[in-house]
Amino acid sequence: MPFRTVAYKDLLQATNGFSSGNLVVAGSVGSVYKGVLAFDGVIVAVKVFNLLREGASKSFMRECAALLNIRHRNLVKVLFACAGVDVQGDDFKALVYEFMINGSLEEWLHPNQTLEQEVDGPRNLNLIQRLNIAIDVANALDYLHNQCKMPVVHCDLKPSNVLLDGDMTAHVGDFGLLKFLSEASCQSSSSQTSSVGLKGTVGYAAPEYGIGSEVSTFGDVYSYGILLLEMITGKRPTDSMFKDGLELHSYVKMALPDRVVDVADSKLLTEVDEGKGTDKIVECLISISKIGVFCSEKFPKERMDISNVVAELNRAKANFL
Residues with a known catalytic role:
156
CA neighbours within 13 Å on the CB side: how many for 103? Answer: 16
Q: How far is CA 60 from the centre of its chain?
A: 18
Q: Assign 152 to helix, strand or coil.
A: strand
C-alpha to C-alpha distances, 49 to 27, 166, 207, nearest whole angstrom:
9, 26, 28
User: Is the distance from CB of 57 to CB of 51 less than 8 angstroms?
Assistant: yes
CB 64 within 8 A of CB 81: yes
For residues 48 and 102, is the Cβ–Cβ distance under 8 A? no
Length of the chain measured in residues: 321
φ, ψ for residue 224, nearest 5 deg: -65, -40
DSSP for 157-225, please give it.
--GGGEEE-TT--EEE---TT-EEHHHHHT--SHHHHHHHTT-S-TTTS-GGGGGTPPP-HHHHHHHHH
Please state, in angstroms and as integers, the Cα–Cα distance from residue 91 to each residue in 25, 48, 79, 84, 86, following that order: 21, 11, 21, 6, 6
Instruction: Answer yes or no: are the C-beta atoms of 158 and 104 closer than 8 Å.
Output: no
